[in-house]
A and B are shown apart, each in its own frame.
Chain A
Amino acid sequence: MDLFVSQLMIGIQAGVVYASLALALVLIYRTTGLLNFAQGEMALLSTYLTWKFTDYGLPVWVSIVASVLVSFAGGALVERVVMRPVEQSSPLVLVIVTIGMFLALNAITQVIFGTDDKHLPRAYPFEVWEVAGIRVRSDTLVLIGVLVAECVLLWYLVQKTKLGLALRAVASNPDSSRLVGVSVGTMLMVGWGLAAGLGALAGALVVPTTPALTPGSMQSILVFAFAAAALGGFDSPLGAVVGGLVMGVANALTVEYVDALDGIELVVPFGLILLVLLFRPAGLFGRVHVERV
């Protein structure tokens, strides 16, 4: 039982990580209808930036906030400079452009910061508590807390503010929203900025719980984040969170309990996705798109 619960905790912690990045993916998807392959690498660059700030001697929390702000600006800039010229092109062209960005950002990170391991300190004390025989790490609690805060803030922003209304309007119908005076370009920039900021936050909190910050840090996380987003439905933030947790827990439990799948644990999360998509082609919480013929 203890083993089960501790595996569950490991799974939840990993799941929260996937969920944060999946949330960023969903955010861009909702505002732009685009799957951003470069999301992980944007977060990577942001995380290196955070590391650089702490390297200059800034306190960790200050570094994270600074990096989130810079990333917000960077994300908006990427939308304006890189994505805007191809905004009207076919989805395939957009996919290729984000792949180009994926390659470029990863390489640029390596050129600027080098390939050796970096160590980003935690922004909070690391502790392990024993609660009724279950080991709880402060990492898990902080990540959960931040994720919950993110969700509440995002929900408030998107559902309750004028900016959120404009964001949703642009997502559902750019042409009409332009007609009623919403600046589509600005909203897209805000969407990208938010996603980049979320990625920066996720990276800065996740990386200290891993052995080191390397240029490959984000890639496996990104794959899981994609999977989480697909599981929950690309247009549903709630789905991203649930999907992330399911992926994390399923993976952790398979690792522990199913010996036959030793080495191929990944079959479980992806099998799960396939199964879910077969019955709900738009993900667990996604809205089904109905076409009028």
Chain B
Amino acid sequence: MAGGRPWASPNRVAAWLVGIAVLAFLLYVPQYYEATTVNRYTTAIFIGIAAMGLNILTGYNGQVSIGHGAFFALGGYTSALLMRDAGWPFLATVPIAALVCFVVGALVGFPALRVKGLYLALVTLGLAVVFPDVARKFVNSTDGFFDHNGEPGTVQLSIREHLAPPFWHDWFADPIADRLRDWIGARDQWAYYCALFLGLLLLLGVWLISRSRFGRALIAVRDHEAAAATVGIDLARVKVAAFALSALYAGVAGSLAVMINRSASVTKQEVFQDSIFFLVAVVIGGTATVVGPMIGAFILVFVQEWLDESDWLSDLLDDQRARLASPALFGIALILAMYVLPDGLVGGSRRLLRRLKRRRPVSEAAVT
């Protein structure tokens, strides 16, 4: 135990209480909100998953990538193709997507051993630029399939066959199956609980990594490569592993996105935007923190929705211009956020907590 703090210190209890309350709320979301909102929560979760992965690479290991949208798309394709062409159920495709991205991530990670900093960022940008072309070329030509629109590089999924929740009556006795159908019978609910489950699992993964020998090695390599090598850390293995793991997270996120988008498709703009979105979520939430990226993702998704749908902008400008202006506000908000909270929301609230604690010994649970 770090520092040997007592298990039931007031801080610990407060953190647990907040955690349980948040979890309870998250479990309740799809029972309360309508499908659109639930889908938005699901979106926030899978963006958070990708951001958590990027955080392993960028936050803990200090390698900046602006190409993780490519892994995100790769995960989506893997899942979509397995569902469409091999008829697999969704959950079975997730581990495969994760594995594919892990392997590809490791392969991409090898050049990263020599290329550093900005140059690495550029190589990953190249990945984001090239991947859509590759997908457009090969997703069609390999299986000779064109969807209804004939749009190359798009894998369209059927809602009824691929995306609907399992038919619980095949699995359970009627009373249980009925309840299950009530709780997770709708498509949005099913997608949401899948995302929540995987999100929590992967969050646990980051937490374990952050406290492990491997996690400390990541940080050591980030802070001082030469010193890390001197104390016996295998630089190559740590860096490649960080890359592969972050790709795995992005791949799982991509799989989940298929459930919401009902297709896997890829354009350069999407891949680039996704890549940037993940990075922004990491920094807004807090680099090198366990929950930061997830919080950052939620903030991003909901702030953007608020900007897109708020009326005050339309009152100010005409309708079309208001729609165009919302990314401008988003960009400005981003810059302002960096002025106020350069260490992200989690880092910022930690500072706030520390300051409050210095004044009054009893901690404020509400601040987290």
Could you tell me which A residues sit within 8 Å of B by CB distance?
29, 35, 82, 85-86, 89-93, 95-97, 99-108, 110-111, 115, 219-220, 223, 226-227, 229-230, 234, 262-267, 270, 273-274, 277-278, 281-283, 291, 293
Contacts and interface: CB of A to CB of B under 8 A. Distances in A.
Contacts of B327: 103-104, 106-107
B136 interface: yes
A107 B114 CA distance: 37
Given A100-B331, A277-B115, 10 more contacts: A86-B342, A89-B338, A93-B342, A95-B121, A96-B280, A100-B332, A100-B335, A107-B326, A111-B325, A219-B269
B352 interface: no
Contacts of A90: 342
Q: Main SS of the interface on chain B?
A: helix
B116 A96 contact: no
Nearest to B152: A263
10 contacts: A82-B335, A89-B342, A93-B338, A95-B64, A96-B279, A96-B338, A111-B328, A227-B122, A227-B126, A265-B133
B331 A230 contact: no
Given A104-B335, A111-B317, A263-B137, A35 B111 contact: no
Interface string B313-350: 00001000100111111111111001100100000000
A97 B337 CA distance: 9
A230 B122 CA distance: 7
Given A99-B276, A100-B332, A107-B331, A281 B116 contact: yes
Contacts of B119: 230, 234, 277, 281-283
Contacts of A92: 58, 64, 283, 287
B148 to A, nearest CB: 22
Nearest to B273: A103
A223 B321 CA distance: 27
B335 A101 contact: yes
A10 to B, nearest CB: 19
B122 A266 contact: no
Interface of B: 58, 64, 111, 114-119, 121-123, 125-127, 129-130, 133-134, 136-137, 226-227, 268-269, 276, 279-280, 283, 287, 317, 321, 324-335, 338-339, 342
A274 B126 contact: yes
A227 B321 CA distance: 33
A277 B335 contact: no
B332 A104 contact: yes
A267 B134 CA distance: 9
Contacts of B111: 274, 277-278
A102 B334 CA distance: 11
A103 B331 contact: yes
Nearest to B339: A85
Contact of A267 (B130, B226, B317): B130
B133 A100 contact: no
B324 A107 contact: yes
A110 B324 contact: yes
A86 B82 CA distance: 46
A77 to B, nearest CB: 14
A219 B273 CA distance: 12
Contacts of A263: 133, 136-137
Given A273-B126, A278-B114, A281-B119, A97 B335 contact: yes
Contacts of A220: 268
The interface centre, meaning the residue of A89, A111, A262, A283 with most chain B CB atoms within 10 A of its CB, is A111
A238 B278 CA distance: 34
Residue in A82, A89, A226 with the greatest tally of chain B CB atoms within 10 Å: A226
Contacts of B137: 262-264
A39 to B, nearest CB: 13
A191 B352 CA distance: 37
A293 B226 contact: yes
Given A86-B339, A278-B115, A293-B226, A104 B133 contact: no
